[in-house]
Chains A and B, each alone.
Chain A
Amino acid sequence: MVCQECQQRPAALHFTKVVNGEKTEVHLCEVCAQDKGDAFLASDASAFSFNNLLAGLLNITPVVQQPNQSQHSDKETIRCKECELTFPQFLKIGKFGCPSCYESFREELPPILKRLHSGNAIHQGKLPEREGGSIHVKRKISELRTELKELVKEEEFEKAAGVRDHIRSLEKDIDQQGGDQP
């Protein structure tokens, strides 16, 4: 069977979705699944047997992304340093074992998260008051940096100097707090 998107490569992902009794079949090759899979899959994914589907969805990513064999075998051995869940196990069950898994699998996660969250891999929402710690300040600093660039571009040097001082004082605060950020 030929991929319905590119009409060239053989279809490798066969997917049937049923929405309100209406059945749609989707046949994609690996490349198109990588590019356009979200549009076909993500929106309906959680409506049914989610875990199996998710595991399948996650699994195609590494293979297509990195055909390089040696890297692939490295991946087999990545293991969470806390709960000892391996990366392949994570792919299989579609769930993490503990918060440290995110750290241990950090390199591998962006393509998976992008696939699940319409191309996004960076949190933009709420920060917890305590755990958020210096992140609040860091966000503020990055906002100010953008502002600073704008001001310099517009040659508003006096205002720019003010913003620069503000950034410095915030950076100092972070240094003094020290602690949780490496």
Chain B
Amino acid sequence: MTLEKFLTKAVTSWMNEEGPYSEIVLSSRIRLARNSKHHSFPTVFTEKEAADVSQKVKDSMQKAGESLELLEMKELQELQKRVLVEKHLISPNLAEDSASSAVWLSDEEDISIMVNEEDHLRIQCLYPGLQLKEGLRKANELDDAIEEHFDYAFDEQLGYLTTCPTNVGTGLRASVMMHLPGLMMTNQMNRIIPAIGQFGLVARGIYGEGSEALGNIFQISNQTTLGKSEEDIVEDLLRVVHQIIAQEKAAREALVQTSGVQLEDRVLRSYGVLRYSRIIESIEAAKCLSDVRLGIDLGYIKDVPRTILNELMILTQPGFLQQYAGGFLRPFERDLRRASLIRERLEMDDSQLKGGTDL
């Protein structure tokens, strides 16, 4: 398979489209946790109950007339599951507990509904850029459609009942993925992360293990789900995100003004590494991709589309590399493949830009 073909299959809309504020906000996600009132939660349910929930969801989806495709975990191979995880369409947990777990996906992969993860249902909408309200609207639509035929566990006082007491109430987790190289370079994240906590929100680095934020990418999300309406939760998150956007912009401006040449040098060095290296580890790739993306935002690099960071951060994950290669790869082989995939992807833009079309 050529890379281009692979990409058209592999890349989903939130990865290669631009949305509002997409120079800093990569994607927005809304997740609603819902459960059946007739079944035990996935923590303790039996195989039979799991299969029953799965069937009930199927019935409701058919009656609701949603055109989503059903992927059952037991039918998928390990690598296919891993790719879905890397695309953020399913969680690692769902991939592990395979028996009666499944995911319903839309064609554009902006909607995914996980069945029998920690909760019976996890309705998720994922959009490029800052589009939390749009995501909430869509998730609510799906929620209403499913509820017509599916009996939700709901309590007058406590709201939607969930497996974990941290999700009870709205069952809503709203999150945005932000690229914050300016705040990282100016050492401001250490100050911002605790401050965000005061508002019932949490910021964490995604990609990369433990506390490091690979590629300067952070996820900001609400921590509390009880006591506030869905709209207020989203509003509060948006307010903080807008402040972070403003601070990131200010940090970038300050960097350009005080050390423009150094910054340009760093960006173009990283660009050179991505264009010409033959072996690249995921940590270095993430760092260089972040630099290049910043360089595009600041106008140091012109001929590369901005979505390169979203796209390549995911395509250079082990699962994707192996799927592209068509089989298992040892770590060293992955580093070779990663370097060549990045090179190919950048060259693809050269030819496409000359041809005047964009991916």
B158 within 8 A of A: yes
B166 within 8 A of A: yes
Chain B residues in 8 Å Cβ range of A138? 156
Residue in B closest to A84 when the chains form the complex, CB atoms: B44
| 0/1 string, B29-61, CB within 8 A of A gives 1 | 000000101011101100000000000000000
Beta-carbon contacts under 8 Å, A86-126 to B: 93-99, 102-103, 109, 112-113, 116-126
Chain B residues in 8 Å Cβ range of A97? 40-41, 43-44
Q: What distance in Å separates the Cβ of B103 from its nearest Cβ neighbour in chain A?
A: 21
Q: Is the CB of A102 within 8 A of B155?
A: yes
Q: Is the CB of B170 within 8 A of A131?
A: no
Chain A residues in 8 Å Cβ range of B229? 124-126
| 0/1 string, A37-70, CB within 8 A of B gives 1 | 0010011111110100010001000000000000
Beta-carbon contacts under 8 Å, B143-173 to A: 143-144, 147-148, 151-166, 168-170, 172
| 0/1 string, B222-249, CB within 8 A of A gives 1 | 0111111110110000000000000000
Residue in A closest to B49 when the chains form the complex, CB atoms: A98
Query: Out of B168, B200, B211, B227, which one reaches A19, CB within 8 Å?
Result: B211
A132 within 8 A of B: yes
Q: What distance in Å separates the Cβ of B40 from its nearest Cβ neighbour in chain A?
A: 4
Q: Is the CB of B212 within 8 A of A20?
A: yes
Chain A residues in 8 Å Cβ range of B232? 124
Query: What are 14 A-to-B residue pairs whose CB atoms are below 8 Å?
Result: A19-B190, A39-B198, A43-B201, A46-B166, A95-B118, A95-B163, A95-B164, A97-B40, A97-B44, A118-B224, A123-B155, A125-B228, A128-B147, A131-B154
Known contacts A96-B163, A126-B230; 9 additional CB pairs below 8 A are A47-B204, A93-B43, A95-B41, A95-B118, A96-B41, A113-B165, A117-B169, A130-B152, A132-B154
Please report B residues at the A interface, Cβ cutoff 8 Å: 35, 37, 39-41, 43-44, 118, 140, 143-144, 147-148, 151-166, 168-170, 172, 189-190, 193-194, 196-198, 200-202, 204-205, 210-213, 223-230, 232-233
